[in-house]
Structures are given as C-alpha cells and as structure tokens.
Amino acid sequence: MTETTSDAVVHRAAPSLTAVEANARLTGSMGATLFVLFALEGITILLHVRGVLPAHVFIGMLLVPPVLVKTASTGYRIARYYVGDPDYVHRGPPPLILRLLGPFVIATTFLVVATGIGLVLAGRSSDWLLFAHKASFVVWFGAMALHVLGHLRETPALAAADLGPGPAAVPGALVRGLVLTGALVAGLLLGAWSLSWIGPAWQHVRRDG
C-alpha cells in the first residue's frame, strides 16, 4: 500500500513527539517525587523544627538534586517551545496562569533552599537569614499550592506511565528511572553530609528549645 502524505508526516514526526512525551514523563515523575519530599519536610515543620532539626536539614538537602533535575527538564521544554520547535509547539504550552507562575515557583524554591543552607551554616544567630527563610517559605507555599493544583490531574498519570509495559510505552524509561534514582541517591548523600553542618550554635538552640 502506498504511504499517503499525511501518513509520512506522522511517521517522520513520531520520534520527536516521543521525545516530547519522554520529557513530560521525566518532569512528571520528578514532580511527584518532590511532592512527597516537600510533604515530609512540611511534617518536620508541624513537629516544630528545632526539635527535629537533623530531619529537617536532611530532607531539605535531599530535595536539592530532584529540584535541579525538574527545573532542567521543565526549562528544556520551555526553551524548545519558545525557539519554535514544531513538536513542542504542537504539544502546546501550559495554561497562561501556570506559565506566569512557573518562574515565580522556581525563584522562590531556590530562595527557600538557599536561605535554608545559609542558615544552617551560619547558625541561629543570623536573624536576617532566619527571617528570609521563613518569609520566602510563606511566599513559596502559596505559589507552590497553585502550581500543584494546576498540575494535579496530569502529574500522577505521567509519574506512573513508565511503571509498566504497554501500548503507551515510550523509549527511554530505563534512562528516566536512572535519572530519578540518581537524583535521590545524590540527595541522600548530600543530606547525610549536611548533618555535619549543624554546628554548636544550632545544637545549643536545640537543647534550649
């Protein structure tokens, strides 16, 4: 049977469209992972941070590599869309509100993490860092809540898409799994290392608090 022009176009586009879906699945799996880790970090806040400071610091540092991977995968999709890659343009952008919110979520996430790291290294005596960490967390929480709600329907499906074979399988599942695992392993190592950063000033606060 002779291949029609439309069939040929679909055939040529398939590999690139597969790459778009692969990017979406990586972003989704990282997003679901970060949701769980941020929830655990939130529990340490509810339990009063000073009493569980090692756990708070450990989880905070564990978050760093997954945050970087998700930022990279999201940034790649955005870049491909705005440079006019036909397949990413065909996939379309997120809703306008999420596009406007995205940079704010990224900026506040990095601010929360950076001030947290600085605070652990500087000690409780750095009042301006403590204020910056708390203030950035409040702003971040509001932005992240909207971000999560905006992606609530698609993220679980994307995160679970690589868990089993089937007609929806997309090449590269093993690589995506290794990236996720590598980010978590790197986070665990970073978290374990960061426990040594909790200096005498913080130990004193923990005993008195």
pLDDT digits (tens, 9 = 90+) for 62-83: 999 999 999 999 999 999 988 9
95 occurs within a structural domain = yes
Number of domains the chain is built from: 1
Token representation of residue 106: 């990224």
3 occurs within a structural domain = no
77 occurs within a structural domain = yes
CB 129 within 8 A of CB 122: yes
**Distance set, CA 153 to CA 16, 47, 159 (Å):** 24, 30, 11
**Domain housing 178:** 16-203
pTM: 0.82
153: enclosing H helix or E strand: none
Length of the chain: 209
181 occurs within a structural domain = yes
Determine the pLDDT at residue 3. Answer: 46
Q: How confident is the model at residue 110 (pLDDT cuts 50, 70, 90)?
A: very high
2 occurs within a structural domain = no
Q: How far, in Å, CA of 185 to CA of 56, rounded?
A: 18
Answer yes or no: is pLDDT of 207 > 50: no
162 occurs within a structural domain = yes
21 occurs within a structural domain = yes
Q: How far, in Å, CA of 98 to CA of 183, rounded?
A: 25
CB 59 within 8 A of CB 209: no
4 occurs within a structural domain = no
Answer yes or no: is pLDDT of 131 > 60: yes
Lowest mean pLDDT, pick from 5-14, 63-72, 200-209: 5-14
